[in-house]
């Protein structure tokens, strides 16, 4: 058996011991590098905390700061549309009832206020309207307002005629140029003031009405007149009608005092 083979060959394959040592050294070197990297990471993590923090001690770590929750998003609401103020109510203008204001307003035609009496013991706007239509053959009641005496209409009741609602010329005080019909507001008080004076309620209502018309139409108290004072051809509204007292009251003169009817 030993003739053709050496003892080394009989001992088995030859082992490269130098290569084995080289591979082992490379593996050890790679393991050392991995360990050194892991240690460096540990140092960095440890250095990020407080200097007195021990590994694994979380009691010394800084507490997280509580932040306020973000505000809730504001809901966009629609901007309210501008609404112009409602027009002033016409239920009262300077304390006047609504029917004193014509539906289309007051025309710029009035310069006078002419006071009349009916020269009858009773009457009303409807009664005078029938008379003016049937007897005088006018189109309608000639006056703009009628103030009752309690006989035919209420004592001191102010009735508004259709001419005032239409702002139409009057038919109550004829003159050559018709100025006091075209530009005069006719007010008739029921009664015969040649025999007695108007009632206190009539004078109170007349004063209130004439004050309103004077302010609303720009009529001077001097242009508050009587039928007789304009034409000189009639006694209307009678010698017992207190025109001077009415004019002072309309002008705001407190010396006019309270009115007492004379019977």
User: 87: pLDDT confidence band, cut at 50, 70 and 90?
Assistant: very low
Structure confidence at residue 8 (pLDDT): 42
- Burial call 135-164: b when 16+ CB within 10 Å, e when fewer: eeeeeebbbbbbbbbeebbeebbbbbbebb
- At 147-204, the pLDDT tens digits run 999 999 999 999 999 999 999 999 999 999 999 999 999 999 999 999 999 999 999 9
Which helix (H) or strand (E) segment holds residue 229: the answer is: helix 227-231
Which residues does 227 contact at the CB level (< 8 Å), separation at least 6?
114, 115, 116, 172, 173, 234, 236, 237
For residue 210, is pLDDT > 80?
Answer: yes
Distance CA 220, CA 223 (A): 5
Distance CA 77, CA 48 (A): 49
For residue 86, is pLDDT > 50?
Answer: no
Structure confidence at residue 40 (pLDDT): 46
Q: CB-side exposure of 109: number of CA atoms within 13 Å? A: 16
Question: Residue 62 pairs with which residues in a beta bridge?
Answer: none
Strand order in the sheet with 224-226: 155-160, 145-149, 184-189, 112-117, 224-226
- At 127-142, the pLDDT tens digits run 999 999 999 999 999 9
- At 139-163, the pLDDT tens digits run 999 999 999 999 999 999 999 999 9
Q: Which of 18-22, 49-53, 66-70, 227-231 shows the lowest mean pLDDT across its residues?
A: 49-53
- At 1-35, the pLDDT tens digits run 444 444 344 444 444 555 556 665 666 666 566 55
User: 101: pLDDT confidence band, cut at 50, 70 and 90?
Assistant: very high
Which helix (H) or strand (E) segment holds residue 115: the answer is: strand 112-117
Structure confidence at residue 76 (pLDDT): 44
pTM for the full predicted model: 0.63
For residue 225, is pLDDT > 80?
Answer: yes
User: 252: pLDDT confidence band, cut at 50, 70 and 90?
Assistant: confident
- What six digits make up the tokens of 134? 């049937």
CA angle 200, 206, 210 (to 5 degrees): 150
The larger pLDDT score, comparing residue 76 to residue 108, is at: 108
**CATH number belonging to the domain at 98-253, selected among 3.40.80.10, 3.40.190.10, 1.10.10.10, 3.30.1540.10:** 3.40.80.10
Q: Are strands 155-160 and 145-149 parallel, antiparallel or unpaired?
A: antiparallel
Mean pLDDT within 113-121: 98
Structure confidence at residue 51 (pLDDT): 40
User: 111: pLDDT confidence band, cut at 50, 70 and 90?
Assistant: very high
């Amino acid at each position: 058996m030993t003739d053709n083979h050496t003892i080394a060959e009989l001992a088995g394959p030859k082992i490269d011991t130098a290569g084995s040592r080289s591979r082992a050294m490379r593996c050890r070197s790679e393991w050392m590098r991995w360990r050194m990297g892991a240690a460096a990471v540990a140092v960095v993590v440890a250095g990020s905390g407080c200097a007195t923090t021990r590994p694994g001690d979380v009691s010394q770590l800084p507490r997280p700061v509580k932040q306020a929750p973000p505000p809730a998003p504001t809901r966009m609401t629609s901007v309210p549309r501008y609404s112009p103020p409602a027009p002033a109510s016409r239920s009262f203008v300077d304390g006047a009832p609504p029917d004193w204001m014509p539906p289309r307003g007051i025309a710029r035609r009035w310069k006078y206020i002419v006071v009349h009496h009916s020269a009858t013991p009773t009457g009303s706007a409807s009664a005078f309207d029938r008379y003016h239509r049937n007897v005088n053959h006018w189109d309608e009641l000639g006056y703009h307002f009628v103030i009752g005496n309690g006989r035919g209409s209420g004592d001191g009741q102010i009735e508004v005629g259709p001419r005032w609602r239409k702002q139409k010329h009057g038919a109550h005080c004829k003159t050559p140029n018709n100025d006091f019909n075209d530009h005069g507001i006719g007010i008739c008080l029921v009664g015969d003031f040649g025999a007695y004076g108007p009632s206190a309620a009539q004078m109170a209502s007349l004063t209130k009405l004439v004050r309103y018309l004077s302010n609303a139409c720009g009529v001077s108290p001097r242009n508050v007149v009587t039928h007789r004072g304009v034409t000189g051809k009639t006694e209307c509204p009678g010698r017992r009608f207190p025109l001077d007292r009415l004019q002072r009251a309309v002008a705001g003169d407190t010396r006019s005092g309270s009115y007492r009817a004379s019977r």
